[in-house]
Amino acid sequence: DVKVTQSSRYLVKRTGEKVFLECVQDMDHENMFWYRQDPGLGLRLIYFSYDVKMKEKGDIPEGYSVSREKKERFSLILESASTNQTSMYLCASSLGGFVETQYFGPGTRLLVL
């Protein structure tokens, strides 16, 4: 079974703090994704990585950056957290090629005060 793990289930941070969300997958997947989930808006793609050190902006990249130094690990960074970044953050991975099926981690619920 594919396993995607996220470093924290719940996180509380203050406005202006730098926040790191970590994601690890154990199935040697090429692709990794970061989404945020807000009620009524579904899942919106923040960033996508298709290889080590490679990244592509999603639909809502503003205020976020990412890092992929190793194939199994994909980090989402909030450079200066703001209250409108309070949300559920979901990491996912997929095999690559034309296989679209994505496997999700349990999510990190972030509250920015």
Partner 1 sequence: GQQLNQSPQSMFIQEGEDVSMNCTSSSIFNTWLWYKQDPGEGPVLLIALYKAGELTSNGRLTAQFGITRKDSFLNISASIPSDVGIYFCAGPYVGGAQKLVFGQGTRLTINP
In the complex, the residues that contact partner 1 under the rule CB under 8 A are: 4, 31, 33, 35, 40-45, 48, 50, 58-59, 90, 92, 94, 96-98, 100-107
Name the E strands within the chain: 4-6, 10-13, 19-25, 31-38, 42-51, 54-57, 64-70, 73-78, 87-94, 103-104, 108-112
Query: Please, what is the minimum distance in Å from the beta carbon of residue 83 to partner 1?
Result: 22
Looking at the Cβ atoms of 84 and 101, the one nearer to partner 1 is: 101
- Which residues are 39's β-sheet partners? none
CB closer to partner 1 out of 5 and 82? 5
